[in-house]
């Protein structure tokens, strides 16, 4: 089993999980501020970290700031 995994959500890197030296846990390291609440959290397995990332992403509406969300935003008709 690898010692580190990249975790992505909606095509963006959320962070990585890396196995500790004792091999007892995987620790999360955030790639962006949006996932900083999970920084340093220990997980027994990488899939648990991925589940936590996806939960945080949904809770914070991570896609709100994506280019896809900006494309669907309409400008007010009175905009100059």
Q: For residue range 3-58, what is the model confidence (pLDDT) as tens digits? A: 999 999 989 999 999 999 999 999 999 999 999 999 999 999 999 999 999 999 98
Tell me: pLDDT of 67 over 80: no
pLDDT of residue 72: 38
* Whole-number Å distance between alpha carbons of 24 and 54: 23
Residues near 54 by beta carbon (within 8 Å), at least 6 away in sequence: 9
Beta strands in the chain (DSSP E): 4-9, 12-19, 26-30, 42-43
pLDDT of residue 78: 52
């Amino acid at each position: 089993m690898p010692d580190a995994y990249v975790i992505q959500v909606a095509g963006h890197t959320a962070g990585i999980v890396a196995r500790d030296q004792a091999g007892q846990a995987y620790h999360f390291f955030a790639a962006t501020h949006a996932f900083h609440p999970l920084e340093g959290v220990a997980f027994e397995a990488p899939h648990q970290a991925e589940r936590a990332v996806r939960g945080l992403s949904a809770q914070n509406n991570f896609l709100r700031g994506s280019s896809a969300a900006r494309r669907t935003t309409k400008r007010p008709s009175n905009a100059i």
